[in-house]
């Protein structure tokens, strides 16, 4: 045991190198971390084999008729796979294909999801009649023993509903069906990939366009519409490593920053879901990282290096805003950090040389380009290159402006309620996690996915943020001032927003909370003159990630075990 402890201590001691840049050893560590997390994150990400052909039911009364092979048989249930437009269907049964009796109405609620509807009657023929515009992808009938019934279509409408029987799952779950906001974002990704009008229009298109890439290449299945978000979640790990090392000039703290992102349960759950938050947060972290790399440059450093970092920061904040408007919050922090730095480097000095004055105006002019023109261009092109957005085609600058007005009106007047909504000031405490999915396998087993963070990160992060604020205020610490600025700019604006909000709106703040934790751990390490607390804290983080893993991964688990994870009475899963 003693040898093990000394080995761990030596490992962390050897991590320290006191530089901001990434070297060969850093890339090796990053590669190992990415490999480990990548394997974990891809386990049961989603099915790759869902129906790819669909039948469109145009208006009420459109029908598809099927004949069961063999004799008339008692049908226990019908399983339907809905497409991008959900609808209601009246199910009729007949023994002679002449006289049909209504047996049930199938009411779909989720796009690209499997649904079962009970029948419990005997028949030879089945007729499905739509009640509105809708799209279906596949149909499967079952007998009283749960065995699949073979059917043939009696019209063209039904042919696409029985041509992919091999895709019908044995059990319906998150692996083969969309859940939570995937019914908006994944649906729109499919529509972009297929040149259709995109249903989700209250956020800019870039994230959905990225999400649509594997859908266009490989087809519409959960694995593919979750793929890009999961890759973005993986990429956050090396970015956080680079951020931690850049700020704290120590490989140990780059490692810690990556570990915190790697083993945060909320990050795991959110980035494996087919929404656009993964892209938003990745772009925001990158924009902040490159701004910090610019800020730490000395006045004498090459102008080209300064412009490179500013250009990359502007590029990624443009991508963030074109994914979700909340990217503007990081844009505010970038602007404050940039102008404060500009003032202290150039603004109050009367001794600036002509070369320095020229450089100052070159930097300002360049920033107008990369922080105004580039983001506007990215935003416009994300619409103009793929104009199929509901409502209306976005094929001109004026149409984009009208769309912006419509989006603003939607968000500012949204008067919806939700069981798992929460106020901004409760987010650091995780008082109301968002319950994304549940499937009751039996009275004692269930699988569930909830947006809940690692308590060792989120709750410790409260104290870390306060500590960073005090160090920034009392010691005028540059690193902590930067961290606090981004925490405040990504979190406090929600104070002024009246619409329904959720814990996942705190996701963009989380990376900076993690950096505050790194700062606190560094302070404790320096006081102790060893890495004991760092080792202990990393162990606790990994342990709690493992403990909460079943409720963020959808892994089937005993209900009794899942109930032990409900540490607060407001936690539901």
* Cα 380 to Cα 397: distance, rounded to the nearest angstrom: 7
Is residue 457 within 8 Å of residue 514, measured between CB atoms? Answer: yes
Give the model confidence (pLDDT) of 261-293 as tens digits: 999 999 999 999 999 999 999 999 999 999 999
Long-range Cβ contact pairs of 100-105 (< 8 A, separation 24 or more): 100/125, 100/127, 105/131
Give the model confidence (pLDDT) of 407-424 as tens digits: 988 888 777 778 888 999
Name the band, by pLDDT with cuts 50, 70 and 90, for residue 1.
very low
pLDDT value, residue 14: 66
Name the band, by pLDDT with cuts 50, 70 and 90, for residue 135.
very high
Q: Is the pTM of this model over 0.75?
A: yes
Q: What's the Cα-to-Cα distance from 403 to each of 391, 398, 447, rounded to whole Å?
A: 8, 9, 39
DSSP conformation letters of 362-420: HHHHHHHIIIIIHHHHHHHHHHHTS-BBSSSB--SHHHHHHHHHHHHHHHHH-----TT
* Cα 40 to Cα 432: distance, rounded to the nearest angstrom: 26
The CA-to-CA distance between both ends of the chain, in Å, stands at 38
pLDDT at 73 over 60: yes
Sorted by where each starts, the structural domains of the chain and their CATH numbers stand as 16-46+199-564 (no CATH), 55-167 (2.60.120.260)
Backbone angles phi, psi at 78, to 5 degrees: -125, 135
3-state secondary structure 133-158: CEEEEEEEEEECCCCEECEEECCHHH
For the chain, what's the residue count? Answer: 573
Q: What is the mean pLDDT of residues 52-69?
A: 94
Name the band, by pLDDT with cuts 50, 70 and 90, for residue 5.
low
565: Cα separation from own chain's centroid: 23
pLDDT value, residue 572: 87
In the numeric block, which tokens belong to residue 136? 């279906």
Is residue 420 within 8 Å of residue 433, measured between CB atoms? Answer: yes
Q: What is the mean pLDDT of residues 472-496?
A: 94
State the burial class of residue 535 (Cβ atoms within 10 Å of its Cβ: 0-12, 13-18, 19+): middle
Tell me which DSSP letter residue 499 carries.
S
H/E element, 203 = none
For residues 47, 48, 54, 59, the Cα torsion angle rounded to the nearest 10 degrees is 40
For residues 169, 174, 177, 181, the Cα torsion angle rounded to the nearest 10 degrees is 180
pLDDT value, residue 349: 61
Give 238's Cβ-side CA count (13 Å radius): 18
In the numeric block, which tokens belong to residue 13? 């001691």
Q: Which of 196, 270, 166, 201 is nearest to 511 (CA)?
A: 270
pLDDT value, residue 348: 61
H/E element, 132 = none
Query: Residues with Cβ < 8 Å from 386, sequence gap 6 or more?
Result: 192, 205, 209
Q: What's the Cα-to-Cα distance from 319 to each of 280, 282, 285, 313, 374, rounded to whole Å?
A: 8, 10, 11, 10, 9
pLDDT at 505 over 50: yes
Average pLDDT, the chain: 93
Q: What's the Cα-to-Cα distance from 552 to each of 209, 450, 452, rounded to whole Å?
A: 26, 5, 7
Q: Is 67 helix (H, G, I), strand (E, B) or coil?
A: strand
pLDDT value, residue 422: 92
Give the model confidence (pLDDT) of 332-357 as tens digits: 999 999 999 998 887 766 567 888 88
Name the band, by pLDDT with cuts 50, 70 and 90, for residue 45.
very high
* Cα 566 to Cα 217: distance, rounded to the nearest angstrom: 41
* Cα 551 to Cα 548: distance, rounded to the nearest angstrom: 6
pLDDT value, residue 464: 98
Q: Which of 503, 546, 268 is nearest to 561 (CA)?
A: 546
Query: Residues with Cβ < 8 Å from 359, sequence gap 6 or more?
Result: 303
- % of the chain exceeding 70 in pLDDT: 97
pLDDT at 463 over 90: yes
* Cα 512 to Cα 321: distance, rounded to the nearest angstrom: 18
Name the band, by pLDDT with cuts 50, 70 and 90, for residue 2.
very low
Q: Is 75 helix (H, G, I), strand (E, B) or coil?
A: strand
Is residue 542 within 8 Å of residue 461, measured between CB atoms? Answer: no
Q: What is the mean pLDDT of residues 468-486?
A: 94
Name the band, by pLDDT with cuts 50, 70 and 90, for residue 390.
confident
């Amino acid at each position: 045991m003693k040898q093990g402890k000394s080995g761990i201590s030596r490992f962390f001691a050897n991590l320290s190198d006191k530089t901001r840049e990434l070297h060969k050893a850093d890339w090796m560590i990053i590669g190992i971390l990415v490999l480990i997390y990548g394997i974990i994150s891809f386990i049961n990400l989603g099915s790759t084999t869902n129906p790819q052909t669909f039948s469109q039911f145009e208006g009420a009364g459109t029908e598809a008729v099927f004949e069961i092979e063999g004799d008339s048989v008692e049908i226990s249930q019908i399983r339907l796979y809905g497409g991008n437009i959900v609808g209601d269907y009246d199910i009729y049964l007949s023994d002679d294909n002449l006289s049909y009796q209504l047996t049930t109405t199938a009411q779909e609620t989720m796009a690209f999801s499997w649904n079962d509807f009970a029948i419990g009657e005997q028949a030879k023929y089945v007729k499905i009649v739509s009640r509105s515009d809708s799209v279906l992808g596949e149909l499967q009938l079952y007998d009283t023993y749960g065995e699949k019934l073979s059917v043939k279509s009696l019209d063209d409408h039904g042919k696409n509903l029985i041509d992919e029987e091999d895709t019908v799952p044995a059990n319906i779950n998150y692996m083969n069906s969309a859940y939570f906001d995937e019914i908006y974002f994944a649906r729109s990704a499919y529509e972009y990939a297929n040149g259709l009008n995109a249903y989700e229009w209250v956020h800019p298109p870039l994230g959905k366009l990225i999400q649509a890439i594997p859908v266009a290449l490989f087809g519409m299945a959960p694995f593919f519409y979750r793929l890009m978000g999961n890759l973005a979640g993986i990429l956050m790990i090396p970015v956080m490593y680079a951020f931690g090392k850049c700020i704290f000039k120590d490989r140990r703290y780059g490692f810690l920053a990556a570990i915190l992102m790697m083993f945060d349960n909320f990050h795991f759950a959110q980035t494996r879901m087919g929404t656009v938050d993964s892209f938003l947060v990745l772009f925001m972290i990158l924009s902040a990282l490159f701004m910090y790399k610019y800020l730490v440059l000395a006045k004498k450093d090459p102008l080209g290096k300064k412009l490179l970092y500013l250009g990359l920061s502007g590029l990624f904040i443009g991508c963030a805003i074109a994914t979700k408007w909340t990217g503007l919050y990081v844009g505010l922090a970038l602007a404050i950090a940039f102008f404060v730095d500009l003032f202290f480097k150039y603004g109050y000095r009367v001794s600036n040389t002509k070369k320095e004055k020229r450089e100052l105006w070159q930097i300002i002019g360049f920033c107008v380009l990369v922080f105004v023109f580039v983001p506007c261009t990215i935003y416009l092109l994300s619409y103009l290159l793929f104009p199929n957005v509901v409502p209306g085609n976005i094929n001109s600058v004026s149409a984009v402006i009208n769309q912006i007005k419509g989006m603003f009106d939607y968000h500012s007047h949204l008067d919806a309620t939700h069981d798992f909504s929460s106020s901004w000031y409760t987010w650091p405490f995780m008082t109301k996690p968002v319950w994304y999915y549940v499937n009751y396998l039996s009275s004692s087993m269930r699988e569930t996915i909830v947006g809940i963070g690692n308590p060792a990160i989120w709750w410790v992060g409260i104290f870390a943020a306060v500590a960073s604020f005090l160090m920034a205020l009392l010691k005028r610490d540059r690193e902590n001032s930067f961290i606090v600025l981004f925490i405040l700019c990504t979190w406090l604006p929600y104070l002024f927003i009246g619409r329904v909000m959720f814990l996942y709106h705190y996701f963009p703040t989380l990376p900076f909370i993690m950096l505050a934790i790194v700062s606190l751990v560094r302070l404790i390490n320096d006081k102790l003159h060893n890495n004991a607390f760092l080792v202990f804290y990393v162990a606790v983080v990994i342990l709690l990630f493992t403990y909460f893993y079943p409720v963020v991964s959808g892994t089937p688990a005993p209900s009794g075990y899942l109930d032990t994870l409900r540490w607060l009475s407001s936690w539901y899963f």
